[in-house]
Amino acid sequence: MAAEKKIAEVKVLDKEAEKKEILKRYRSLLRACKPTLEKGDKELIRRAFDIALEAHSNMRRRSGEPYIYHPIAVAQIAAEEIGLGTTSIICALLHDTVEDTEITLEQIEDEFGPKVSQIIDGLTKISGVFDQSSSLQAENFRKMLLTLSDDVRVILLKLADRLHNMRTLNVMPRDKQLKITSETAYLYAPLAHRLGLYAIKTELDDLVLKYTEPDVYNMIRSKLSESRKEREKFITVFNEPLNKAFSIQDINCTIKGRTKSIHSIWNKMKKQGVPFEEIYDIFAIRIIIDTPFEKEKADCWKVYSIVTDFYVPNPDRLRDWVSTPKGNGYESLHTTVMSSKGKWVEVQIRTERMDEIAEKGYAAHWKYKESSSEGALDEWIGKVREILENPDSNALDFMDDFKLNLFSDEIFVFTPNGDLKKLPLHATALDFAFEIHSDVGAKCIGAKVNNKLVPISHEMASGDQVEILTSNKQNPKEDWLSFVKTAKAKSKIKSALREEKKKLAEDGKEIFDRKLRQLKLNIKNLNINNILLYYKVPSLLDFHFKIAKGAIDLKELQKVIDEKLTRQTTERKSDESVHKLIKDVKGSKGSTLVIGDNEDKFEYTLAPCCNPIAGDHVFGFITINDGIKIHRTNCPNAVQLMSNYGYRIVKARWTDQSELAFLVGIKVTGIDDVGVVNKITKVISSGFKVNIRSISIESEDGIFEGIIMLYVHDRDHLKKLSEKLAAVTGIISVTRIETDD
């Protein structure tokens, strides 16, 4: 009895502690909202909080914490890190209530009005974006973006929700972690970037790395921590003469040292093939000027002039996004200068307004802040809507087109009248033509770039002045799709080709109907699917189109109809078998595939795209024809597989692989010297008893590069071998080849 009483007391204490913690988090949220609060807002936020608290009162997160912690955290991110106002805070607090509790949209509308109801409806519709098959996932994402043009806050709150889920991902099982991080890398991080939310984009990228490559993440984080004091000392010395000069010139500004993100450091290490110690621009100096809007541009260049009085700039590294801001609103002046210690340092110069837009996102200043100078986001959303509203657009094609523009860097091109157009890097003259007008693009036969005649496939550069040449005899061609870069051009070309195809298909249909009448057959009595399977065409439209083009001969039609075709049944069985395999694997051993365990009944192969070896972080992917394939979590194809086909992913772990050998490739670079090949092979074969499958070494101007394919037991074995090779005199770097190209 006494023990039961003690347990009851502990529960009461826990409840009390939780109540205090919830209240503490709510007060912290109110402090974050303070800059945007108007009369009556506090009461509205309190009402939303009370409704959410009551609705989620019996719910817990996977960590065991009260569920209400999540909506409070999302609201905090929206207020503090994106700079959103009261409407968004209310929506964040209530964002899961309609989907997970008894509360309805009607009740929310009665309580808070149509705008809050509309945003929560948008959030509820997109909550299941990544489910089941790839086409469904893509279609749902398309629907999600349609809400963006109604109110961009839907997307901003979805990003805040995703950021909090990523911050608390450690409590999720491994397969869920991989699926969520892949979705984040695939869409949410680039979307945050496109909306100008750099701080959020950077954190999402870092968190993706933390879960896909924990060893790399921890190594870089540890090295950054070790070198922090040295960096701080360097920044102080670098800033000293600048501070004095700014004071004399009466320039009011703040200078900060900003360390690069773990993700961007890792990207540089991979791209340049160098270790952490050789990345020269680990941090940047940011100078933030307090100046009125009309003096911004002049003051940024004034500060640039002072910086270059003390430090020599690299002329190839000047980026002027003050005169021509990026499409997502980013404004800043970037230069790289040589410090007195012989190190290159990136210096970013911007005003307080520019810094706020860069940190909190251009989107936060959009329409509902009554600002007229922010048309770039409107323009981008207009382009997104144009792609979305193409009625014939295939959902997966749309995803590819949309991501094309999402990731692209930009160039600035002028019309003959001097109007500025922003286009993605590598855009062609034909892209420019479609940017002016769809009809201009469809009739384009060439262009004059800086008064020089060029073909429609000509790639433009920033600063080009372009005049488009057209002809009424011109029509869009299939091969145009191979060189255009903008989503708009691709969409319009595909649409025009489909229209042309439909016209030709009408002629093909007449030929087919005539043949059926000749054979005295009625189309209603035919199994059209069997006919399409025989002729290997995906649809009736394609069938009619190919007849019109003469690519299908109908002489064998009677034979096709008389034959009993079994291919359809076989395909259905194949589809059923993959679903059975998914069911069997997912239901086995806690959903974990054990690699190298002879007792395991599931066969698997190691994916050639990333060559996993024992010790690598891996996952299993259930294919339709090749059983289970094992991929590394950082495989080039991993993000797409996990975000599009999450239901086919299975956890995988290695057993002891000491008796097995895996083929792996390493790249060795260094100073060419007599006997260098002998030194390398000696380390590999004698010290580590590793079998070499192939070795090729090329030398140019005293530098050699070697590709060695060899067999190792596991990741640890490879690491030790790489360290031993790196210690050989004359060798500069040893890196694992990531893919099997």
Active site residues: 99-100
In Å, what is the CA distance from 260 to each residue of 100, 334, 499, 601?
Answer: 39, 15, 49, 46
Cα separation of 561 and 565, whole Å?
9
Neighbours of 563 (CB within 10 A): 11
Cα separation of 412 and 670, whole Å?
40
State CA 124 to chain mean position distance.
22
Cα separation of 187 and 301, whole Å?
36
In Å, what is the CA distance from 35 to each residue of 83, 187, 366, 370?
Answer: 9, 31, 17, 17
**Best CA proximity match to 728, nearest among 667, 671, 690:** 671
Q: Give the residue ranges of DSSP H helices in 365-523.
A: 375-388, 395-407, 429-436, 438-442, 487-518
Q: What is the dihedral of CA 179, 181, 185, 187, to 10 degrees?
A: 60
Tokens of 261: 């993100």
Q: Give the residue ranges of DSSP H helices in 519-608.
A: 528-535, 540-549, 557-562, 567-586
Q: Which helix (H) or strand (E) holds 637?
A: none
Partners of 628 in the beta sheet? Answer: 604, 622
**Best CA proximity match to 84, nearest among 95, 94, 70, 74:** 74
In Å, what is the CA distance from 38 to each residue of 28, 42, 86?
Answer: 18, 8, 8
DSSP state of 79: I
* Region label for 250, one of left (φ > 0), alpha (ψ between -120 and 50) or beta (otherwise): left
CB 286, CB 348: distance < 8 Å:
yes
By the 10 Å C-beta count (0-12 exposed, 13-18 middle, 19+ buried), 654 is classed as buried
CB 67, CB 61: distance < 8 Å:
yes
- The sign of the CA dihedral 270, 272, 273, 277 is negative
Which residues neighbour 588 within 8 Å (Cβ) at sequence distance 6 or greater? 602
- In degrees and rounded to multiples of 5, residue 614 shows phi and psi of -55, 135
Instruction: Show the CA angle centred on residue 185, arms to residues 579 and 591, nearest 5°.
Output: 35
Polymer length of the chain: 741
In Å, what is the CA distance from 351 to each residue of 124, 289, 348, 537?
Answer: 38, 4, 10, 59
Cα separation of 277 and 227, whole Å?
10
**Best CA proximity match to 634, nearest among 617, 652, 615:** 617
The radius of gyration of the chain's CA atoms, rounded to the nearest angstrom, is: 30
**444-449 vs 333-338, strand pairing mode:** unpaired
